[in-house]
C-alpha cells in the first residue's frame, strides 16, 4: 500500500489540493493528475529541459522536484504562459524561424526563453546561446531557436523605444499647448 500526502498549491493561478505519492515527480503529477501535458519528460535527470516549469517564479526541472516539494507553492506551466499570452511573440517567432520540428522540446525552450527575456531584456546573441544551452533539441539544431529568441528581443526593444518616443512626443505636445494657452 502506497501512502499519499495532501498538498496545497497554486497551478497556473488556480488553487489546488491533491493527494500525491511521496516520490512522485512534479512533472508526472502535472501530466498524470492534472492533465497538463505541455511539460514533457525527456531525460529524467534534469539535463534536457523538456520538463521545465516555474516554481515560485523560478524555472526548475520538473523531473528533479517532487510534487510534495511544491506544497504551499506556486507552479506555472507552459499552459499558464500560453493561456495568458505571455509567450505569444515567442511562439510566433519560433514558427517564423522554423525553430521547432517535432515540438517535444518546444515547451521547455519557451519557458527558458521567457525567463531570459525577463531576466536579461538587453541580452546579446551570445547571452541567448549560453542561456538556451541548458535545453536540448535533437531536431532543429540551435541556430533557428537562437534566431527566434533574438528576433523577440529586438522586437520588444523596438516596441519599448517606440513607446518612449510616442510618450516624449505627447509630453512635448502637452507642454506646447500649455505655452499657447
Class of domain 87-180: mainly alpha
Q: In this predicted structure, what is the pLDDT of residue 44?
A: 93
Q: In this predicted structure, what is the pLDDT of residue 178?
A: 66
Domain boundaries, the chain: 5-82, 87-180
- And the C-alpha cell for 99? 525553430
User: In terms of CATH architecture, what is 5-82?
Assistant: Roll (3.10)
Nearest alpha-carbon partner for 36 in 70, 82, 3: 82
Per-residue pLDDT tens over the stretch 156-167: 999 888 777 776
Q: In this predicted structure, what is the pLDDT of residue 181?
A: 60
Q: In this predicted structure, what is the pLDDT of residue 3?
A: 92
Q: In this predicted structure, what is the pLDDT of residue 52?
A: 97
Q: In this predicted structure, what is the pLDDT of residue 170?
A: 65
pTM of structure: 0.86
Q: What is the DSSP annotation of 9-42?
A: EEETTEEEEEEE-TT-BHHHIIIIIT---SS---
- If you average pLDDT over every residue of the chain, what do you get? 92
Secondary structure class of 5 (helix, strand, coil): strand
Which regions of the chain are under pLDDT 70?
1, 167, 169-170, 173-174, 177-181
Per-residue pLDDT tens over the stretch 131-157: 999 999 988 889 999 999 999 999 999
Amino acid at each position: 500500500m502506497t501512502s499519499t500526502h495532501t498538498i496545497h498549491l497554486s497551478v497556473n493561478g488556480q488553487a489546488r489540493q491533491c493527494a500525491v505519492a511521496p516520490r512522485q515527480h512534479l512533472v508526472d503529477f502535472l501530466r498524470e493528475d492534472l492533465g497538463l501535458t505541455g511539460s514533457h519528460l525527456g531525460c529524467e535527470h534534469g539535463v534536457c529541459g523538456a520538463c521545465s516549469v516555474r516554481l515560485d517564479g523560478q524555472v526548475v526541472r520538473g523531473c528533479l522536484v517532487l510534487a510534495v516539494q511544491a506544497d504551499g507553492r506556486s507552479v506555472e506551466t507552459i499552459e499558464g504562459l500560453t493561456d495568458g499570452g505571455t509567450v505569444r511573440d515567442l511562439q510566433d517567432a519560433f514558427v517564423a524561424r522554423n525553430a521547432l520540428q517535432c515540438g517535444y522540446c518546444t515547451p521547455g525552450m519557451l519557458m527558458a526563453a521567457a525567463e531570459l527575456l525577463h531576466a536579461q531584456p538587453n541580452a546579446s546573441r551570445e547571452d541567448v546561446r549560453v542561456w538556451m544551452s541548458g535545453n536540448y533539441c535533437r531536431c532543429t539544431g540551435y541556430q533557428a531557436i537562437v534566431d527566434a529568441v533574438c528576433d523577440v528581443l529586438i522586437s520588444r526593444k523596438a516596441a519599448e523605444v517606440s513607446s518612449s518616443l510616442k510618450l516624449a512626443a505627447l509630453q512635448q505636445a502637452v507642454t506646447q499647448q500649455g505655452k499657447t494657452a
